[in-house]
């Protein structure tokens, strides 16, 4: 049962609680390696990527205990065991263990990380930046070895904004000798959450939330307890479900403050949104043309993780529009599957042109990556008939039981 069956054409009504952030949980779990003791991480989502991260931590000697949405990580018996190649290979975020392990143990051997096929995302910049901190790296065809007797703080002027590189440098710098400056640093809320966790553990970090981070290395960090913020991308996903299927839903704990560009875009499509103290109320269906199109950008711009979902919104809105992808070159892999469903979409370089006036019909389609898989489920909600989205395992990487959550919102979906 690696598929989702969707009975389309039904408007939504109900409420669901937004899970903890995948993109915050993974670097925070990696950061627990920097402490010597037991850290408790609250609101960790029960998703495949977290499972793989915990498997990697166990392979390093950590003791893991999960009770509900709280994960206890005991790093007192950290060893130099090899990390399982299959977990490293399926999850791009495994690269952030590099900075944390170098800071804690001074030596790392690992396979090159994998993940969704949404772009090249080479790790060259990670390795270059770490070499500037005194790391010696030997690269092989399928794996590499990194060593450092002591990491040394330095000024890191990056050629472009990278969330992964920013996270790795933060993890390496907090225990390094001297001061590290990262510019331009990624400003995503997940970066801020990582900094907040580390500060709770005793790190000295200034500039969180800006494009210039200054980190003064400390001798050690202490264990702490931290709550992961809600997932803005998951909230955006269920927002688009309402935009496509129509209806009225409440997204409990939706992090509105971190969704400004998404909320503004949804309102331009004609949605009626109400910001509440405990979440986001979404009403209506997309029925307007998005003047000027949509361009993805690093935070606080429009998130690339929601690009394919808003492509679906455009496809069902009845209006012409375009999307320009400025972050990852392979984010348009969903297009052939949407065309199977009746959408009229043409790709020209980094732009996708969507023609309105074409009703979607359900059929069997295949997910090829995480967000595109969720987008196909959302498309099926608005389409006529019964559809199947295969390769649910991609969706499970980032969504806690998407069928249950959508049923809470009134959708007719089930595992298949």
Would you please indicate which residues are annotated as catalytic (active-site) residues? 116
Name residue 15's beta-bridge partners.
250
Q: Going by C-beta distance under 8 Å and a sequence separation of 6 or more, which residues neighbour residue 112?
A: 88, 123, 142, 143, 144
d(CA 19, CA 14): 16
Q: Which residues of 375-398 are buried (b: 16+ CB within 10 A; e: fewer)?
A: bbbbbbbbbeebbbbbbbebbbbb
Residues 6 or more apart from 28 whose CB is under 8 A from it?
41, 193, 194, 197, 226, 228
Smallest CA-to-CA distance from 198 within 33, 17, 389 is with: 33
| Spatial distance between the Cα atoms of 324 and 184, rounded to a whole number of angstroms | 23
* Nearest Cα to Cα of residue 49 among 73, 72, 22: 22
Within 10 angstroms of residue 123's Cβ, the number of other Cβ atoms is 18
Q: Where are the beta strands (DSSP E) in 148-264?
A: 155-157, 179-183, 204-206, 213-216, 225-227, 247-252
Check: CB of residue 155 under 8 Å from CB of residue 213: no
Where would I find the H helices in 269-369? 307-317, 335-340
> Could you tell me which residues come within 8 angstroms of residue 413 by beta carbon, excluding any fewer than 6 positions away?
4, 5, 6, 7, 377, 381, 402, 403, 406, 407
Radius of gyration of the chain (CA): 21
Alpha helices of 298-369 — where are they, by DSSP H? 307-317, 335-340
Residue 208: name the closest of 224, 227, 177, 186 by CA.
Answer: 186
Q: Give the 3-state secondary structure of residue 172.
A: helix
């Amino acid at each position: 049962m690696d598929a989702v069956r969707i009975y389309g054409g039904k408007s939504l009504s109900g409420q669901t609680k937004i899970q903890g952030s995948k993109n915050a949980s993974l670097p925070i779990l990696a950061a627990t390696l920097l402490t010597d003791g037991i850290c408790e991480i609250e609101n960790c989502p029960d998703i495949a990527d977290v499972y793989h991260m915990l498997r990697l931590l166990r392979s390093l000697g950590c003791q893991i205990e999960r009770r509900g949405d709280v994960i206890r990580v005991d790093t007192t018996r950290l060893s130099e065991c090899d990390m399982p190649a299959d977990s490293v290979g399926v999850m791009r975020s495994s690269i952030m263990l590099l900075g944390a392990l170098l800071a804690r143990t001074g030596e790392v051997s690992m396979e090159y990380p994998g993940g969704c096929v949404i772009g090249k995302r080479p790790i060259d910049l990670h390795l270059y930046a770490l070499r500037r901190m005194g790391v010696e790296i030997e690269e092989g065809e399928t794996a590499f070895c990194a060593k450092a007797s002591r990491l040394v703080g330095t000024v890191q002027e990056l050629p472009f904004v990278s969330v992964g590189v920013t996270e790795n440098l933060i993890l390496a710098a907090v225990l390094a000798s001297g001061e590290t400056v990262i510019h331009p640093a990624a400003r995503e809320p997940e970066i801020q959450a990582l900094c907040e966790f580390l500060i709770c553990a005793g790190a000295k970090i200034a500039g969180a939330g800006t494009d210039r981070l200054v980190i003064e290395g400390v001798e050690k960090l202490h264990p702490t307890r931290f709550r992961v913020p809600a997932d803005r991308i998951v909230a955006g996903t269920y927002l688009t479900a309402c935009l496509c299927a129509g209806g009225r839903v409440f997204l409990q704990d939706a992090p509105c403050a971190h969704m400004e560009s998404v909320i503004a875009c949804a309102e331009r499509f004609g949605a009626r949104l109400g910001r509440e103290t405990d979440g986001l109320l979404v009403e209506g269906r997309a029925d307007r043309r998005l003047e000027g199109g949509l361009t993805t950008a690093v935070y606080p711009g429009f998130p690339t993780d929601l690009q394919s979902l808003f492509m679906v919104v455009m496809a069902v809105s009845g209006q012409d529009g375009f999307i320009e992808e400025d972050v990852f070159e392979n984010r348009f892999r969903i297009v052939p599957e949407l065309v199977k469903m009746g959408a009229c979409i043409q790709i020209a370089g980094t732009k996708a042109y969507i023609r309105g006036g074409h009703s979607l019909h359900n059929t069997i389609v295949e997910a090829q990556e995480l967000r595109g898989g969720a987008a196909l489920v959302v498309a099926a909600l608005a389409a006529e008939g019964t559809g199947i989205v295969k390769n649910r395992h991609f969706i499970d990487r980032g969504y806690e039981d998407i069928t249950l959550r959508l049923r809470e919102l009134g959708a007719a979906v089930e595992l298949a």
